[in-house]
Structure 1
């Protein structure tokens, strides 16, 4: 929590203003009972109307000053807390942007969303309370005690007797509730995960009639969060009744013993009423402290979760050096081995091959053979275990990630589009692209035909996740986004799977002239897509089972031949 609060240093002048304003408000609240005692003892009792008006006017002015200070303090404390929340969200977002895929796999997307939203909101709320209560409560408590003792020291013993009971109750409740706050946030993570999976996978859920099962899963996650939240709130619900019970018993005790002292002539009526007001202020300060005891533990858990993200270092970082390209458009894997964190065996072992500009290198293999893993290593989404990957003749670990990725046009296996227009999505690959460049990329990607049929053409809106487009349309827009960059290296990760054979053939024909000066790396499931490649790499269980042309592999490689026979007939092969 302390580490998070250190971010408030940029708001030191706002905090200073809040401290001053809260001090003024507290002084006004502490001064009013003394004025009330004075107006009763010297005005009401004696029937001095002029004195009542005089002191009453002073009370109005003091009250007005307190109200103005309270409003201003609330404004500045809210501004400080909201500013802190904004800064934390920006820091978390920017820091997460530096993560490799290994960190995303470790923390989980749902948890990162919860930490960036709910956890930071918890911290914001407690900062507002702290700025108001942490300053006000001690002033009211200490000031109230001093003024109460100054009114009647013997009567103050009633307050001293009540305070240990109150403090003990709060500490006991605090110890019971603290361990449950972390569980609340963990179960909130789980609820967000289930909800996110249901929303993003709604088509699959409905296609397989799994609505009932998913409702059960959602109900369980919701019930788990509800149960632990109820348990926490049951414990915390004891605070206010205990506080009110002790407070009211204390007031009863003061009235009882105060009446005895008034009978004895040791205390005046106005002084007793002022004393009761000071007791109320003292108890109110303790109530504020108890509210902080409820909020701070949960905010502390949230702060720790935020710190976990901010303190999590990426598995690898740039060395800050930009290397000049030695060769344009080349790709080389030199004895590369890679393992996922915690895996028993490598996902890829001893991978070696090279590709040159103007060549199409295809990668084919069975499910789980490591095709997608291999191409995810090129943009340095993961760090290799051993070996070297060179892009344009430069080890990707010796160049900045921005430099490496600027040379690559990447089309992922799952087409990802963003909300906005078609132009916005294609221009995502090159921010300063002209309309002519956008249209050219769309024509090459075989997307122009369906774009021009849309009511708004290139300005047509794309809904979240591209839900208003077919799978093939989304893939073609993803390809156009990569083409517009005119990179040195194109990576197509099974990017033609949603296309019909006719569109697939037209697209590959158009790509030949467009990519003639670049290296093309093509991952595919269809043999028909890779058959014309200059080089085909056959992967099996993370190892290279063969490299060669279609004809060479068909004759010499059993793994490739099995893949071909599973898709084509003997007549088609011939």
Structure 2
């Protein structure tokens, strides 16, 4: 992971990679700024000529001549200013668009190991607030950062031509202001770093609260959540106040330099004008003093712009570091140079596999895993909470990579496959079922965007979802709200199973994915698997033994290790842990088929009642 103290050149090089098709606009903006700046610097000199030759000299032709030149310069300067603003807006907005795209694309390429290093709130902050700050800073740089230094340098040269002594005032003021602004920047940068880290925490709290809003309300914990949010918000307030207390010195320092310079220039200029009455060769004219005052204002206002840039760059430096942390993050799961592009079958083999979520973990999550699963077999996995059942199956599509040993799919190490090809051959229905905003049909087609309506209906029938879908007023066009919040847990599970089946995978993994459906529906789904996809390797993780009882082989896991494996009958004889689970789940049964049927019907009614489409 990139550090927060990256070299500025490296930060700039990484960020500018996202400029791409907006390089032209980003170069035209400062070019027009240069034209605008040159004309603004020339105008005071022309004004001085108009005053000295036209007004003071009483020459009407000179007034017309220099007046028209001034008008032409003003019009061209106005046009250049408009074009620079237009191109700067296009360049900065396009740069921000590409930067967001690159960040999002990078996150999509991450393995679960990479994603675990960044919180959800942190990634959201980087995609929104951080990119927006970079956009504003970039726009100021291609306009103001070009204009301000150029105005300072050229205006000082022009003022030097008018009066050597007065122009030296600027050479004293500029370093003083520069040192002061640099000191402020160095002081406030660490504070802004803390601000953005605290923003990450704030976004995490909001995300967690909204995800669990039903739990918050059911436990009447709104006040607790308000206090938690308030504490973090208050911390951001205090940090911003600390930063503003430091940056508050910016304007007093700037105004002191500006008004001090104006007083000195006025005093020195007045003395030289008085001296010019005795010896015109030694003093200034009224036009010269007017030009000098204008140049002084241009120089000092440019320094004011520089101070604004300094503040913006200080803020955006922390943003740039955080963005580059994501852009420079190297995915732990990558294709090799010549990947295999087709998975021949659904066989799976674990060879002495050990897995850790991070290299620094003392205790492995999985240890000494050896499994040989033939293609087309149905495998059940059971075990207590924390036995690493989910971690085991997440290695198959390379959501994580093994720490040691090897994992083979179709007779080849998973690390030799093209990632797209491997994951296209594996369908997973995870513990946390996720649906996306859109219609039911659109959600199902995540499994295959080119699937026909008949294909969608077929897999929904297999997943026992077609019945409740047709009860909705709009059927398959029913709109799913964010996260599938307007369907029940059991309905959400069946829709996710249908989505996975539409992929026609060679390996189907169900990670406790029928826990919210009744036993009758669970059995119908499993029967559909055996008849409709007999050649697909099926791995079923379940807490309910009835869901895996008919599997070709059942694996019992405990604390990241395989405790035992075999058929249901074999494990009842050989595995005490399995027998204990079986007895605890079956000792209260015996009400009879009628009661079971009535219980299943009641469950279905409850599921339908939970839906409020």
User: The TM-score by the shorter chain falls in which range?
Assistant: over 0.9
CA distance in 1, matches of 2:340, 2:262: 78
Report the counterpart of residue 418 of structure 2 in structure 1.
400
Report the counterpart of residue 311 of structure 2 in structure 1.
294
Report the counterpart of residue 505 of structure 1 in structure 2.
523
CA distance in 2, matches of 1:324, 1:187: 44
Report the counterpart of residue 609 of structure 2 in structure 1.
none
Mark the CA change 1:515 to 1:9 in structure 2 (over 3 Å): closer, same or farther. closer
Report the counterpart of residue 35 of structure 1 in structure 2.
46
Which runs of 5 or more structure 1 residues have no equivalent in the other structure?
none
Return the match for 2:66 from 30, 55, 61: 55
Contact 1:25 1:69 in 2 (8 A): yes
Q: Offset at 1:95?
A: 2.1
Report the counterpart of residue 2 of structure 1 in structure 2.
12
Report the counterpart of residue 188 of structure 1 in structure 2.
199
Contact 2:26 2:92 in 1 (8 A): no
CA distance in 1, matches of 2:318, 2:245: 19
Which runs of 5 or more structure 2 residues have no equivalent in the other structure?
1-10, 277-282, 592-613
Contact 1:320 1:399 in 2 (8 A): no
Report the counterpart of residue 95 of structure 1 in structure 2.
106
**How many aligned positions are there?**
574
Report the counterpart of residue 155 of structure 1 in structure 2.
166
Q: Offset at 1:50?
A: 4.7
Report the counterpart of residue 285 of structure 1 in structure 2.
302
1:528 correspondence with 2:546: yes
Return the match for 1:439 from 457, 468, 474: 457
Q: What pairs with 1:73-222 in structure 2 (closer than 5 Å)? A: 73-222=84-233
Mark the CA change 1:485 to 1:246 in structure 2 (over 3 Å): closer, same or farther. same
Q: Offset at 1:220?
A: 1.3
Report the counterpart of residue 309 of structure 1 in structure 2.
326
Q: Offset at 1:333?
A: 2.1
Deviation sequence 1:451-505 (CA, Å, 0-9, x none): 1111221111111111111111111100000111121111100000111223222
Return the match for 2:25 from 7, 14, 17: 14
Q: Offset at 1:358?
A: 4.2
SS in structure 1 at match of 2:43: helix
Mark the CA change 1:430 to 1:288 in structure 2 (over 3 Å): closer, same or farther. same
Question: RMSD in angstroms over aligned alpha carbons?
Answer: 2.1
Return the match for 2:371 from 344, 353, 376: 353
Contact 1:191 1:225 in 2 (8 A): no
User: Normalising by the residue count of structure 1, what TM-score does the alignment of the two structures yield?
Assistant: 0.95
SS in structure 1 at match of 2:385: coil
SS in structure 2 at match of 1:51: helix
SS in structure 2 at match of 1:313: coil
Deviation sequence 1:115-166 (CA, Å, 0-9, x none): 2222222222111111112221222111111111211222223333433332
CA distance in 2, matches of 1:323, 1:159: 68
Pick which of 384-393 and 8-17 moved more: 8-17
Return the match for 1:321 from 324, 331, 338: 338
Mark the CA change 1:174 to 1:457 in structure 2 (over 3 Å): closer, same or farther. same
User: Normalising by the residue count of structure 2, what TM-score does the alignment of the two structures yield?
Assistant: 0.89
Mark the CA change 1:353 to 1:289 in structure 2 (over 3 Å): closer, same or farther. same
CA distance in 2, matches of 1:125, 1:560: 62
Contact 1:320 1:400 in 2 (8 A): no
